[in-house]
Amino acid sequence: MRSVAVAVGAGAAALAAAVATRGGRTRLPRLPLRTLCGANATKEVIDPPPPKKIKVALCQLAVTDDKQRNIATARTAIDEAAGAGADLVVLPEMWNCPYSNDSFPTYAEEVGGSIPERCDGRLYNTCFVYGRDGRLLGRHRKVHLFDIDIPGKITFKESLTLTPGEGLTVVDTEVGRLGIGICYDIRFPEMAQLYAARGVQLIVYPGAFNMTTGPAHWELLQKARAVDNQLFVATCSPARSEGPGYIAWGHSTAVGPFAEILGTADEKAGIVYCEMDFGQLAERRANMPLRHQKRSDLYALMDLTR
């Protein structure tokens, strides 16, 4: 199996390297994080690392109520993506369990993600970023919890079981500088703007939009975050299951800095492959210099996390 450079959203590299499983609990390495958050960041725009061309794989997985089956499905997808030459592999939001408040406590891990993460008696919706060697590079706990009520359509309140994260997550990896969000995080443009100011080249959003908001907003929000900030955006959803309970929209997608669709899926399980050339970022920003045209004398975005 070819080694994957970076894996997002599931302890993916660790799975690809044969994670040991005992008693139904996945044992992932407890290793130091490498992020650009808090006191390590500056108030100025941070230059990104040198541009690269990378191949991205978005693994839209079929999720069941069988945790071990979900782990096996994820590992198979990672293996396939690695064999196809992917530099970055992304798994969906809550890939190891059904998307429900009843499932989150039962399927929670001490380390994992984007799965329910258990830590100090609390549950988080957490995405982990792993390097080629399985080393844990970063961890993002979903900042904005999915609490909505659309009468006659969908009602869901993550806050009944989950705790919101308290910071942004920017991770320097072999493939480039990544900003991480999870699903509902994509609706908040300020978060993406702060990522852009920190030199992020690609924002990755594992997500599971539903059958009401998915058709209306899923692609729209991805394009908006990409074009507003002149960077790449990738989303990865579970495949659609027509059974009872929460039904995901699917349609994992990658978007370029000019809002162009680089690759997308339908509702079924599968892997979306696409090429990203981070060299395009400088070109797009030179053609349309939005950063230099902002009226800082009229408005400004304050980063309170630094």
Assess whether 183 carries a catalytic annotation.
yes
Assess whether 142 carries a catalytic annotation.
yes
What's the rounded Cα separation, in Å, for the pair 280 and 58? 21
Assess whether 190 carries a catalytic annotation.
no
Catalytic-labelled residue, pool 127, 183, 236, 274: 183
Catalytic-labelled residue, pool 37, 59, 67, 93: 93
What's the rounded Cα separation, in Å, for the pair 164 and 137? 20
Catalytic-labelled residue, pool 37, 97, 142, 274: 142
What's the rounded Cα separation, in Å, for the pair 236 and 295? 34
Just list the catalytic residues.
Answer: 93, 142, 183
